[in-house]
Amino acid sequence: MSDDLPSIGRIADREHLFPVRVYYEDTDFTGVVYHATYLRYFERGRSEFLRAMGLPSDREDHGAFAVTRIVVDYRTAGRIHDALVVRTRFTGLRGPRLNFEQQIERTGVVLAEAEIVAVAIHLDGRVRRPSAAE
């Protein structure tokens, strides 16, 4: 693997760990992470989790997902230049629904946590059941 490629994080103890750095663009005018930025961090964590799990990307219908529910609890603020970790844990599959729990932390302190339900879809938006290969 080339050092020039972005990190996809790593799997440890049934969790995916994905590092992110807080940049100025992620904050409000006071240097605090803007609340919607956490949603982007959660999305990156889930996307890289699926990549790390080997989600096939070479098929035409490569496994698109749509978030249908997200519940976020904000605990404390992240700040500019913080090194954060997005923790993603797959908690179950029911039909086309994939359930995830995620946390964003800074040196062991949880900044935000979320419960996410995503639905597997075809590229035209129709719901589908994920295959065992995914």
Coil vs helix vs strand at 89: strand
Catalytic residue among 28, 61, 82, 124: 28
- Please give the DSSP secondary-structure letter assigned to residue 26: G
Alpha helices by DSSP H, listed for the chain, are 35-52
Active-site residue 28, yes or no?
yes
Q: What is the rounded CA–CA span in Å between residue 14 and residue 16?
A: 7
Select from 123, 134, 121, 113 the least CA-distant residue to 49.
134
Coil vs helix vs strand at 65: strand
Active site residues: 28
